[in-house]
A and B are shown apart, each in its own frame.
Chain A
Amino acid sequence: MKSVSKSLLASALVASGIALTSGAYAQAIKVAKIVELSGGGTTAGTMYRNGARLAFNEINAAGGIMGRKVEIAEMDTQSQPAVAKAMTVKSIDDKTDVIFGPVFSGSILVSMTESQRAGIPNFTGGEAANLTQQGNPFLFRSSFSQSMGMPKVANYLANDLKVKSVAVIFINNDFGKGGRDAIVKELGARSIKVAADISTDPGQVDYSSAVLRAKQANADALFAYLNEEESARLLRELRKQGFDKPIVGETTIMGAKVIELAGNAANGVRGHVGLTVDAPIPAIQQFAQKFEREFKAKSDHNGIKGYFSAYAYKAAVEKAKTTDGKAVAAALRNSCFNTKTNPGILLDVCFDANGDIDRESFLVEVKDGKQTVIATLPPLVKR
C-alpha cells in the first residue's frame, strides 16, 4: 500500500511537472535572434540584437503578444554565412516561431533558404537588392533595399550637389557589391561618370592607397559604401590625406558607430539614410533615449531595425491572430501598418509582395559629430 501511494505521488508530481512545463512553453512565442555578435559584423549585429531586445522586453512587460510571453534565443553567426545557416537550422529544430537576422546580406542570402523551407517568417537587416528578388515569401526587410535607397542618393548627387563625376569606393562583399552595382546603374541613368571604381576588402585596416586612387581620379565627389568599421577607417584616412571633395554615402557611413569611431573625420559626410535616431520624429527620439539608457550607447540604424522588426512581427501576429508562419507572412505582405495602432514601428510602413518596405527617409549631414537631418523624403509610392 505504501509503495502504491508512493508511486501515485511520484506520478502525480511528474504529471504536474509536465503539465506546468508544457503549459508555460506552449504559451510562449519562441523568437530566434541570429545575428553577428563577433567577426566583421559585430557592430551591426550587436546593434540589431539590442534594438530587438529592447522591443521584446517592452512587449513582455506589457503582457506579451496576444497574452503570450516571448521567449528569446540569441545566437552568434560569427559574421559567417555557413554559421548563420547552421544556427537557422538549429532554431528551426528548436521550433522557433520567427527568426530575426542575420544583418549581413551575405549571411541572410544563405540562411533564408532554411527559414523558407520551414515556413518561418524571417526579418533581416540586410540591404542587398537581390535578397528580395529570390521569391522567398517568408523574408521581410527592416530597412530599404539598395534598389530603393540608391536612386535617392543619385538624385541628391545630380540635383543638389550637381556633380558630373563620382569616385566609388565599395567593400568587396555581398552588401558592398550590391550597393556598388545599384549606384553605378543610377549614376549612369543620370549621366554622371564613374571616374574611379575602387574595391576594398572586408576587415581592411589601411586605406591609404584606396584614398590616393580616389584623389587621382579627381572626381567631383566620392561615394563610399562599406560596413561600419571599414567606413570609419576610410574616413580617418580621407582626412589624413586632406581629401576635400564631398563625401557621400548611403546609411552606413553616417551611422552612430561610424561617427564614434571616426571622430572628427566623419564631419561633413552626407547622404541618404533610411533610419536615424536624429530624425525629427518624437517616437524615434523616445526610442533613442530608451536605447541609450538601456545600453549606454547611442543606437544607429541597425538598432532601429531590430526594434522595428520586433514590433512589425507583433503587429502581424495580432493581425493574423495566430503565430502560424504562413498566416503571419500573409499578414505582412502587401500590407501597411501605421503608428497610431502600432506605435512601436516608429514610422508608418508598407511591405510589398516581395517583403521590401517603403516609408519616409532622410537626407542627412554629419555636423559636429552628429547626424543633422537636411530633409525628410516621402515614401516612394503614394498610398
Chain B
Amino acid sequence: MIDFFQLLISGIATGSIYAMAALGFTLLWQASGTINFAQGEFVMLPAFSMLIAMAVGLPLWAAFVVALIVSVLVLGMAFKRFIVDPMRASGVISIVVATLGLSIGLKSVVKAGYSAEPHPFPSVFGDEVFKLAGVTISYSDVGALLFAGLMVVGLQLFLNKTLTGRAMQAVAQNTFSAEALGINVKRMIFYTFAINAILVTVTALLITPTYLAKFDMGDNIGLKAFFAAIIGGFNNSRGALLGGVIVGVLENLVGAYITPSYKDGVALALFLAVILVKPDGLLGTPAERKV
C-alpha cells in the first residue's frame, strides 16, 4: 500500500507537469484554432534559455525570469505574429503543418548551437527526500505539485474572476460576438499566446531536471501533453488538467504493476479508448458545426 501511495504522489506530480503543457494546447485551440505540434519544443526552448542565462552567471531564479521574458517575446508574440496570424486564413491543417515544421526547425537550431548531448539542469526544489507515514517523498515532487497547482488555480481564477479573463473566454467561445461587444479580440488572442509561453517556461523549469536539457527533450512531453489534452477534452481547460493527471498516475501504476515496457503506451491506449467512447474527451463538450 505504501508503494501504491508513492506511485500515486509521483504520478500526480508528473501528471501535473503534463497538465500544464496540455493546458497550453487547449488554450491556444480555444482562442485561435491553433493546434501547436511544436508544444514539446516550446518546453525545450526555455530550458536552453535558462541554461544560457546560467552559463553567463545568473542564478536559477534570474535565469527563469529571463526565460519567461524570452518565451513571451519569441514563443508568444513572434510565434503568433509570424506563423499563426498569416496561416489562420488557410485553416487548421496549414497551422498543423507549419508547427510541425517549426518543431523540426527548433530542434535543428538547438542541436546545431548547443550540441546533441544532454546537459544537466538544477532542480529548483533540490534532490532531498523525506518520509511521511512510510512513504518516501521527494521535495521535487512536492514542489512540482504545488507549483503546477498554483499555476493552474491561478490561471483558472484569472480566466473566471477577472474582466480580461472573461473577455478571453468570450473570444474563445465566439469571436464575432466578442468583437461586437467591443472586446479587443487581437489583444485577447495575444494574451492567450503569452499565457502559453509562461506555462511552457514553468513546465521546462519543473521537468528538465528529470528529462535533462537536450534538443529532443520535447518529443515525449509534447506527445504526452497532446494526448492528455485530447483525453480530458480539447475544448475544456479543466479537462486538460484531468487528462494530464490521469496519464501521469496510470503510467506509474502500469509501469510498476504490469511492466515498465508498457508504460509509454498508456497515454496512447487511453487516447484511443477516449476517442472511441467519448470523442470530445472526458470533460469536453460536443463542438457545434457552423453551416
Contacts and interface: CB of A to CB of B under 8 A. Distances in A.
A206 B251 contact: yes
Interface string B112-126: 000111111000000
A37 interface: yes
Interface in B250-279: 251-252, 254-256, 259-261, 263-264
B212 A232 contact: yes
Given A208-B255, A210-B255, A199 B260 contact: yes
B256 A199 contact: no
Interface stretch (B81-89, B133-141, B154-162): B133-141
A216 B136 CA distance: 13
Contacts of A29: none
B: interface residue count bin: 35 or more
B3 interface: yes
Interface string A150-173: 000000000000000000000010
B127 interface: yes
A213 interface: yes
Contacts of A264: 127
A239 B138 CA distance: 9
Interface string A196-234: 001111001110111011011000000000000100110
A209 B255 contact: yes
Contacts of B129: 239-242
B111 interface: yes
A205 B210 contact: yes
Contacts, number: 94
Contacts of B212: 229, 232-233, 261
Interface in A40-85: 42-43, 46
A317 interface: no
B127 A236 contact: yes
A38 interface: yes
Interface string B202-225: 000000011110100000100000
A265 interface: yes
B7 interface: yes
Nearest to A208: B10
A205 B220 contact: yes
Contacts of B254: 209
Contacts of A172: 261
Given A229-B118, A261-B212, A240 B138 contact: yes
Interface string A248-265: 000000000100111111
B127 A263 contact: yes
B127 A209 contact: no
B175 interface: no
A169 to B, nearest CB: 9
Nearest to A240: B138
Contact of A205 (B111, B119, B211): B211
Contacts of A198: 260
Given A205-B220, A236-B210, A212 B256 contact: yes
Give chain B's interface secondary structure class.
helix
B112 to A, nearest CB: 11
Interface string B5-39: 01100110010000000000000000000000000
Contact of B117 (A42, A206, A212, A262): A42
Contacts of B260: 198-201, 204, 209-210, 213
A215 to B, nearest CB: 8
A209 B120 contact: no
Contacts of A38: 111, 116
A43 B14 CA distance: 26
A232 B136 CA distance: 20
Interface in B99-116: 111, 115-116
A204 to B, nearest CB: 8
A199, A209, A236, A262, most chain B CB atoms within 10 A: A209
Given A212-B256, A233-B212, A241-B136, A199 B261 contact: yes
Contacts of B7: 208-209, 212
A19 B61 CA distance: 63
A43 B116 CA distance: 8
Contacts of B120: 232, 260-263
16 contacts: A38-B111, A39-B116, A198-B260, A204-B260, A206-B14, A206-B210, A206-B251, A208-B7, A208-B256, A209-B252, A212-B6, A212-B256, A232-B212, A240-B141, A241-B6, A241-B129
Among all A-B residue pairs, the 4 with the closest Cβ atoms = A209-B255, A209-B256, A242-B136, A42-B116
Given A209-B252, A209-B254, A263-B127, 19 more contacts: A38-B111, A199-B259, A199-B260, A204-B260, A208-B11, A208-B255, A209-B255, A209-B260, A210-B255, A212-B6, A213-B260, A232-B118, A232-B212, A233-B210, A240-B138, A240-B140, A241-B129, A241-B136, A264-B127
Interface of B: 3, 6-7, 10-11, 14, 111, 115-120, 127, 129, 131, 136, 138, 140-141, 209-212, 214, 220, 251-252, 254-256, 259-261, 263-264
